[in-house]
Copies of this chain bind each other. A is one copy, B any other.
């Protein structure tokens, strides 16, 4: 069974112990952000996701979305759940109070997102896309457009989409063909076909606000000729209602491996009325505001699925009786021991646990930086935080989704044949997790973003936002004997990351393909070191608190054990990755195309 209780204790650890929620509370707009408020939000979110979203996850997968004559019906229960979600204020949580939002920071928002993704990824995509559309409009649209669309996106009566992909172009948006022709009244007529549009059509909201990339008639070729338009399904009336149907039609939905309750639409824009968002030919930059937020959210999908996979596997491992402990029966009263006694089952459970808690800590660090970047008044603090989130976005997206997929597969492996059949809902987790490595820029594209853009940016300035705190941590803790068993492996892995970075910087200067050849392994190496750093810091906190922990002693002891597991059994991959990176592009690129 899909088992999930929101990991509130660990979330509080990240919020109040590993980091300090007062950092964000001290920023403008954070005045009311007390631990009591945060806790009550998380507890409400836990209730909603456990009781409303989780029970719809397997049934939504089983039923899927239905398409008929341009209309999409979501699975049974989704509409009611969405109404409850909207009425509970969840769509407004991380939005600007100027448009009806609650103005809560990302450090809280991202934890709620994790719970949503863990319990019902398909459901989460609908409000998730809306929030992306909200962000793009809020940062780039005119005041008039903001007034027209933002309050509706914030209160969730309307939803949003990102219309980028066309049949012949996904990664390479420079090839896109959708056209936008200016009209006398300042609007545009948008014509073209888009595919893979999540939440492109559905029955959850009264209107859908599409953000569409298209070309002006005189636009230059390639990515420098792309503009962004807002194209609603129904034209808004002056009083904020829903008016005439616009010329955008859902022509089909995709049949997919997973996320079956999420409507993935083909949309046909047929002279649809839209308005430009931001400046002509600068649409891609505007869309990237939205994409970066979406990329972090996709990373959280991996984290959420790792958590539900972990909990589901633990429940089964404690209950399923099979074989005896290698060191003698642990439960002679039962016909066999529960499989949690077996080292190989432990290996899988500990791996999932180390992934989920490590990723949660790293997500907390990045979310705090997002809040500082958004809210800080000190330009230097702001720049540091912006640099850091820019650097970490591709890492969070790609690493978390890879580990999330691994975790769902480990969960299935713990279930054995019972995980492969549909009955327990475990195979759904694997199918759902798989998309996260692909959408919002494949993980290969994230890796290229890291080595091609983020590494060289401002002569390595982004990179230093990560390297400096890690170096300082290692240097200042080396002498601490209690931490030595954790800091030593971190230090070695960090050394490998530094060597890999130098290697790529030097070799890419000669040949840009060298960076491309190293990219995927470099991102993973970077991500593992980042998790290692989180685990070392978590262990430090746990070691400090343990002596006076009383009822919480088990929690801190588990942190210390899991930290050690991560350092001993996962982080060593770093050296293999460094060796692989250093071998360069030759063997990867040598085979003539015809020989494949």
Taking a contact as CB atoms under 8 Å apart, the answer to whether A422 and B257 are in contact is: yes
Taking a contact as CB atoms under 8 Å apart, the answer to whether A438 and B421 are in contact is: no
Q: Confirm or deny: A171 has a beta carbon within 8 angstroms of a beta carbon on chain B.
A: yes
Q: Confirm or deny: A37 has a beta carbon within 8 angstroms of a beta carbon on chain B.
A: no
A:297-351 near B, CB below 8 Å: 314, 317-318, 321-323, 325-327, 335-336, 340, 342-350
Give the nearest-CB partner of A555 in chain B: B595
A115 to B439, CA, bound (A): 32
Q: Confirm or deny: A506 has a beta carbon within 8 angstroms of a beta carbon on chain B.
A: no
Q: Confirm or deny: A267 has a beta carbon within 8 angstroms of a beta carbon on chain B.
A: no
Rounded to whole Å, the gap between the CB of A498 and the closest CB of chain B is 18
Taking a contact as CB atoms under 8 Å apart, the answer to whether B558 and A417 are in contact is: no
Q: Confirm or deny: A580 has a beta carbon within 8 angstroms of a beta carbon on chain B.
A: yes
Known contacts A342-B516, A587-B561; A442/B416 CB under 8 A = yes
Known contacts A171-B322, A422-B255, A576-B576; A589/B513 CB under 8 A = no
Set B444, B565, B576, B587: member contacting A345, Cβ < 8 A: B444
A68 to B229, CA, bound (A): 53
Q: Mark A566-587, 1 if CB is under 8 A from B, else 0.
A: 0011101111100110010111
Rounded to whole Å, the gap between the CB of A592 and the closest CB of chain B is 7
Complex contacts, A520 vs chain B, CB 8 Å: 344, 347
Known contacts A431-B257, A565-B587; A596/B340 CB under 8 A = yes
Q: Top 6 nearest A-B pairs by Cβ distance?
A: A343-B516, A568-B583, A257-B427, A572-B579, A565-B587, A344-B444
Q: List 27 A-B contacts (CB under 8 A).
A: A168-B321, A171-B322, A175-B322, A175-B335, A254-B421, A257-B427, A317-B596, A326-B515, A342-B516, A343-B516, A343-B517, A343-B588, A344-B516, A346-B591, A348-B444, A349-B596, A350-B587, A409-B434, A413-B442, A416-B442, A557-B595, A568-B580, A569-B588, A570-B580, A572-B575, A574-B576, A575-B575
Other than A168-B321, A343-B513, A570-B580, give 20 A-B pairs with Cβ distance below 8 A. Answer: A172-B321, A255-B422, A256-B420, A327-B512, A342-B444, A344-B448, A344-B516, A344-B520, A345-B444, A347-B517, A347-B588, A350-B588, A413-B442, A416-B438, A419-B438, A554-B594, A561-B591, A565-B588, A568-B583, A569-B588
